[in-house]
Amino acid sequence: MTRRSTRPSDKATGGKSAAQRRKVPTRKCLACQEMRPKRDLVRVVRRLDGGTQVDPGGKASGRGAYVCPNSPCLSRVLKGRLLEKALECELSPEVRERLALGAEGPVTRG
Ligand SMILES: [Zn+2]
């Protein structure tokens, strides 16, 4: 009932902008255990139907796991089956292939 229009937080901030403390959602890479911004990680999701997919937009519903899109981390999760353990299901061949390609970089051999 006593809501005031003049709030003290308006003044005396020393000229610092509020944008300096912007929060970025972070997730932990399965391989290196580092916290990174979600956008910097590859999300693999186990869908509600039990299938798995790489989810670049991070919007698919289901259980997700994250890994850095670099060779060491991708190959580690593939070799150690870390995604299978995290998602508690088998990865689809497409997902494994996609992650393997990401681990290898552009493949030119043919
Ligand atoms: Zn990593």
- The domain spans of the chain are 26-104
pLDDT at 19: 59
Q: How far is the CA of 104 from the centre of ligand 1 (A)?
A: 15
Instruction: Give 41 Cα–ligand 1 centroid separation in angstroms.
Output: 8
How far apart CA 1 and CA 79 sit, in angstroms, is: 61
Backbone angles phi, psi at 88, to 5 degrees: 60, 45
CA of 98 to the centre of ligand 1 (A): 16
Domain 26-104 grouped into CATH 3.30.1230.10: yes
Q: How many CA atoms lie within 13 A of 103 on its CB side?
A: 16
Cα–Cα distance, 1 to 100 (Å, whole number)? 60
What pLDDT, on the 0 to 100 scale, is given for residue 29?
98
Q: What is the pLDDT along the chain (110 residues), one digit of tens a residue?
A: 666 666 655 555 555 665 567 789 999 999 999 999 999 999 999 999 999 999 988 889 999 999 999 999 999 999 999 999 999 999 999 999 999 998 776 555 55
Tell how far the Cα of 10 is from the centroid of ligand 1, in angstroms. Answer: 41
User: Which tokens is 86 given?
Assistant: 């995290």
So what's the pLDDT on residue 57? 83
